[in-house]
Structure 1
Amino acid sequence: MSNQQLDDINEEQANRQLADLLGITYEELFELEFTHGVDESNDGDKYSNYIEFNPEVGKEILRKINLDDNNTFYYNAD
């Protein structure tokens, strides 16, 4: 198995875990537009991870996710 195939498998597993964390299906995840980020201190201490969603894409799906007023979902990486 090539490195690319392993990377693809790892990415799929991570996306499936993310969809589960959000309470949506794997397929629904790919209907959304989002960016990942890390909330950290100036010293590099990591507080949490977050996903910020485009509120204009997948509105029905976004209603299923516990988002804050900025269309952001915070979670711990652990």
Structure 2
Amino acid sequence: MSNQQLDDLNQEKADREVANMLGITYKELSELEYDFGDVDSKDGQIYQHYIQFNPEVGKDILKKIDLDSDNTFYFDPK
């Protein structure tokens, strides 16, 4: 197995975990546009992670996710 194939498998596994956390399917997640980010302190300690979604893509899917008014989902670090 090539490094690229391994990277792809690891990314798919991570994406499936994110979809599960959001309460949607892997296919639904793949239809959305989003960015990940962190909420951290000045000293660099991470308090929360977040996923911010493009509100113009997948509106029906986004309704299934518990988003705030900025189309953002927050979750705690592992």
TM-score bin, normalised by smaller chain: over 0.9
Residue in 2 that maps onto 1:44: 44
Identity of aligned residues (%): 60
TM-score of the aligned structures, taking structure 1 as reference length: 0.95
The residue correspondences of 1:24-39 to structure 2 (distance < 5 A) are: 24-39=24-39
Give the secondary structure class of the aligned counterpart of 2:11. Answer: helix
Structure 1 position 8 matched with structure 2 position 11: no
Deviation of residue 75 (structure 1)? 0.7
Deviation at 1:77, TM superposition (A): 2.9
**Partner of 1:43: helix, strand, or coil?**
coil
> Which residue of 2 is the match for residue 71 of structure 1?
71
* Paired AA for residue 31 in structure 2: E
Deviation at 1:45, TM superposition (A): 0.5
Structure 2 unaligned residues grouped into runs of 5+: none
Q: Paired residue for 1:20?
A: 20
- Report the alpha carbon displacement of residue 2 of structure 1 after superposing the two structures with TM: 1.7
Output the CA distance in 1 between the equivalents of 2:75 and 2:34: 15
C-alpha RMSD over aligned residues: 0.7
Query: Which runs of no fewer than 5 residues in structure 1 stay unpaired?
Result: none
Number of residue pairs aligned between Structure 1 and Structure 2: 78
